[in-house]
Structure 1
Amino acid sequence: MGLDLRICPACGDLADRPAVAGALLRCARCGHEWPFRKLPLFALTGPSGAGKSTMGPLLAARFAGDVVVLEQDILWTGALRDDVTAFRSVWLRMAAMLHQNGRPVVLCGTVAPPEFEPLPERAFFSDIHYLALVGSPSSLRARLRARPAWREWDEPRIEEMLEFNAWLRKIAPELGVDLFDTTEVPPEVTADHVEKWIRARLP
């Protein structure tokens, strides 16, 4: 069984849109069927400055051996920065590949359901659970302004992130996204909440 679920292990065909029935893949070219591990993906999302990057190391320590915690910005480079859809697709393929090792993935990064749910690679997951860390506009603005210059947080970019924060707060119930406000919450307490949220949804 190959780790890249788009590639048929029998004939080597590369599927643009995988044919999935339950936890079984079927090659459109040769008809070969093979099983795969279909696990839930956990998307820890929210605006920049709300605490996602801080959660990464804390969650990795708490979940060692149970889940794989990844930071999405590591692939925000090269041609992927010019094609956001490809960026999202690559991450879903990577997560599905890691799932074949038997451990669910927690992906920390700014994403919303409309960016993942329509993609062909969505079929590789039993569910995608979304938890958004949000904050007050003043707290997010202060945190982003305090970031080092290499991260390039100028005022227009900060305002765009505050708009995303407001949009997410408003539309979260409609999108099926859970919210947690980190404005007045220490990182360890946020990590407690995120850990409990994930463990309640593990297979």
Structure 2
Amino acid sequence: MRCGSCGHRWSFRKLPLFALTGPSGAGKSTIGPLLAQRLAGDALVLEQDLLWTGALQEETPGHPVFRATWLRMAAMLHQNGFPVVLCGTVAPPELEPLPERAFFSDVHYLALVADDEILRGRLRARPAWRAWDEPRIEEMLEFNHWIRGQVDFIDTTAAPVGDIVAAVEKWVRAKLPV
């Protein structure tokens, strides 16, 4: 990179970003902390919902300010030499068109998915303050079907948590820069 004012140049690491996506209730928040332990020293695992607050809780379709904020954060974390695994419901059309996408050598997407009835049960079992009404659950089930045709996926319906973590870790490690 080069400063437009003084001309100073410095290196900027463009590492891959890993998006662990999928519908709510598929297991991303369960897998994330376990994955962080297994990837410690090789990648940073972050939960995107951490920043779903205040002004970043936008109603604009695709949530571009929220997505751009995460891309900028991940790009800066990459300057420490570690790729980021971002856990949260996101789709390629929400990240790929953003100008901040240029900060990454690649974006790899992996979805955790599950059978509709399992997802429906998991979402209905959530506390009331999470506001999972039937229309919102149906929207998430539609995403569950759609994402399977867009990116690689792992079905979490009946798989033990340890097996899912191992599969996600293997997927990340296969795509880490050498």
TM bucket, shorter chain: over 0.9
Q: Deviations over 1:54-80 (max 9, x none)?
A: 011110111112111100001111111
The answer to whether the aligner puts 1:65 opposite 2:41 as a matched pair is: yes
The answer to whether the aligner puts 1:201 opposite 2:138 as a matched pair is: no
Q: Deviations over 1:23-58 (max 9, x none)?
A: xx3456666543211111100000001100001111
* Aligned residue type for 2:19: A
Alignment of 1:174-193 (within 5 A): 177-193=151-167
Match of 1:46 among 8, 22, 47: 22
Match of 2:115 among 136, 143, 160: 136
Q: Aligned equivalents of 1:118 and 1:31: distance in 2?
A: 29
Q: What SS does structure 2 have at the residue aligned with 1:107?
A: strand
Q: Aligned equivalents of 2:120 and 2:5: distance in 1?
A: 52
1:104 alignment counterpart: 83
Identical-pair percentage: 74
Q: TM-score, normalised by structure 1?
A: 0.82
Q: Aligned equivalents of 2:97 and 2:40: distance in 1?
A: 31
Matched positions, count: 174
How far off its partner does 1:139 sit?
0.7
Q: What SS does structure 1 have at the residue aligned with 2:13?
A: coil
Could you list the runs of 5+ residues in structure 2 that have no partner in the other structure?
none
Could you list the runs of 5+ residues in structure 1 that have no partner in the other structure?
1-24
The answer to whether the aligner puts 1:79 opposite 2:55 as a matched pair is: yes
Q: Aligned equivalents of 1:105 and 1:135: distance in 2?
A: 24
Q: Aligned equivalents of 1:188 and 1:199: distance in 2?
A: 16
Task: Give 1 or 2 for the bigger CA radius of gyration.
Answer: 1
Q: Aligned equivalents of 1:111 and 1:32: distance in 2?
A: 36
Match of 2:143 among 164, 170, 192: 164
Q: Which has the higher contact order (CA 8 A, sep 6+)?
A: 2
How far off its partner does 1:165 sit?
0.8
2:68 alignment counterpart: 89
* Greater mean deviation of Cα atoms: 27-36 or 91-100: 27-36
* Aligned residue type for 1:150: W
* Aligned residue type for 2:87: C
Q: TM-score, normalised by structure 2?
A: 0.93
Q: Aligned equivalents of 1:59 and 1:149: distance in 2?
A: 28
